[in-house]
Amino acid sequence: MLETGFELEQQEALALLFENFWIIREQDPANYQLIRENEKALRRYISEKFGFSLIIHKDFIKLEKVPFQPRNWMGIQEFQNPRDYAIFCCGLAYLERRSVDDQFLLSEFATALEELYSGLIPLDWTNYQHRQSLVRAMKKLIEFECIHEVDSTAGGLEQFAYSEDQEVLYQATVLSRYFMRNHMRSLKECTKIEDILQMEWEENQENARQKRTYRKLMFEPVMYREDEEDLDFDYIRRYRNRVREDFETHTPFELQVSKNAAMLTLPEQSQLYQVFPDRKGITLVSLHVQAYIRQNQTNYSKNAFGEIQFTRPQFEQMIEQVKEDYHQGWSVEYREKSSLNKITEDVLNHFIEWSFAKIEEGTKLIILLPAVGRMMGEYPNDFERED
């Protein structure tokens, strides 16, 4: 059991590890050094509480983060379909064949992908959609510093989307060897994502309940009580004071627990974290929807877990009323340009992203979750509501 908390610089180092895929020494020497100086305390805390591996390399530092349950927003947002991910992974496999600093042409890379790709429909670089997938995958490999562009003909990588004859010269980096995690068994033994996640817990059997709970709190906007026998939520209830003290002495977060939900909150804004609310136009709209829900909560029926059901027409009707009541301060996009259907879709997606709502499988009902009522937005008393 860890007895003492972290100093401010150790809290900052922990935040850097959780909020970045990796810290590259050449690009960020100060933060690399900060983590190195606090390596012992960080490694111990991360291993004991989360069961994560901390990789310290002379060129980079990486915390291998594995969520309890993958969510859509955890993916690569620029990717548009499974083919993008498949090409990206095939690209990493190709780079494993190359030595560090090896140079290769885009045409060589594309030819190798045809061999490595195992999709039902083979890659065809005369197909515009397939070329677009490769462009998106290559951009992410560059962004993650797995490869560097050395030289190109006019138009660069983007031009490949319009012509498979486009050439670019790349160089492999050491980072490409460390992007993928190592597993206890071959991924060929896995038939679904749950099999991969199960391997993670085979490696983390000691205090697994605590580690699951800490991962949920750290990665999810809100951790909910899923059912009457939810062991992880029961852990928070039983050890609330211990968990609260742990987070509040090692991070800037505060733990809030209610009957059906638990979440980490920040008492002050921080640039290190992505938080709700932020300054996006859709966030203001969402806060006003939340205000409307709170003001009219007696009109809604909640189940034992604090959830409220809406059909799509009911939800859209509510958005229409909220727009009528609050639109004066909205951004031009939502005040004038967006249709009611577009606003409804954007609010719903924003709610889902922040764990304020979900879509029920089968019925497709919109389920508003308890945290949706935890905050709201109102205009100040002197706000001019007239158009």
Which range, of 2-16, 25-39, 191-205, 355-369, averages the lowest pLDDT? 191-205
From 286, 249, 254, select the one nearest 267 (Cα to Cα). Answer: 254
**189 falls within a domain:** no
Does the pLDDT value for residue 119 go beyond 90? no
270 and 219 housed in the same domain: yes
Per-residue confidence band for 122, with pLDDT thresholds at 50, 70 and 90: very high
Per-residue confidence band for 173, with pLDDT thresholds at 50, 70 and 90: very high
56: domain range?
A: 8-64
- If DSSP codes are grouped into helix, strand and coil, which group holds residue 103? strand
- If DSSP codes are grouped into helix, strand and coil, which group holds residue 224? strand
171 and 215 housed in the same domain: no
Domain boundary among 177, 195, 220: 177
Does the pLDDT value for residue 219 go beyond 60? yes
**191 falls within a domain:** no
Does the pLDDT value for residue 124 go beyond 80? yes
Instruction: Give the pLDDT confidence of 280-305 residue by residue, as tens digits.
Output: 999 999 999 999 999 998 999 999 99
Q: What phi-psi label fits residue 95: left (phi over 0), alpha (psi between -120 and 50 degrees) or beta?
A: alpha
41 and 88 housed in the same domain: no
Per-residue confidence band for 385, with pLDDT thresholds at 50, 70 and 90: low
d(CA 387, CA 141): 48
**Distances in Å between the alpha carbon of 298 and those of 258, 293, 294?**
19, 9, 8
**296 falls within a domain:** yes
Residues 6+ apart with CB under 8 A from 103: 150, 169, 170, 171, 172
Token representation of residue 143: 């962004």
104 and 165 housed in the same domain: yes
319 and 250 housed in the same domain: no
What dihedral do alpha carbons 126, 128, 129, 130 form, nearest 10°? 30
252 and 301 housed in the same domain: no
Evaluate whether 157 touches 106 at the Cβ level (below 8 Å). Answer: yes
> Which residue type, as a one-letter code, is found at position 4?
T
**323 falls within a domain:** yes
Domain boundary among 254, 274, 294: 274
**387 falls within a domain:** no
285 and 331 housed in the same domain: yes
**314 falls within a domain:** yes
319 and 339 housed in the same domain: yes
Domain boundary among 125, 158, 177: 177
Residue 270 is predicted with a pLDDT of 80
User: How far is residue 350 CA from its own chain's centroid?
Assistant: 13
Which range, of 44-48, 125-129, 163-167, 246-250, averages the lowest pLDDT? 163-167
d(CA 378, CA 300): 21
**74 falls within a domain:** no
d(CA 55, CA 64): 8
pTM: 0.88
Token representation of residue 69: 């349950």
Residue 3 is predicted with a pLDDT of 54
Residue 201 is predicted with a pLDDT of 80
Token representation of residue 273: 């974290």
Number of domains observed in the structure of the chain: 4
Alpha-helical regions (H) of the chain = 8-19, 29-37, 39-50, 82-97, 106-116, 128-143, 193-202, 208-219, 231-238, 240-250, 281-295, 312-326, 332, 340-353
Cis preceding linkage at 277, omega within 30: yes
264 and 286 housed in the same domain: no
261 and 314 housed in the same domain: no
292 and 328 housed in the same domain: yes
**Distances in Å between the alpha carbon of 150 and those of 145, 167, 168, 308?**
13, 11, 8, 55
d(CA 363, CA 345): 18
Evaluate whether 379 touches 385 at the Cβ level (below 8 Å). Answer: yes
Instruction: Give the pLDDT confidence of 29-56 residue by residue, as tens digits.
Output: 999 999 999 999 999 999 999 999 999 9
**144 falls within a domain:** yes
Does the pLDDT value for residue 2 go beyond 80? no
294 and 335 housed in the same domain: yes
d(CA 316, CA 343): 9
Q: Give phi and psi for 208, each to the nearest 5.
A: -60, -40
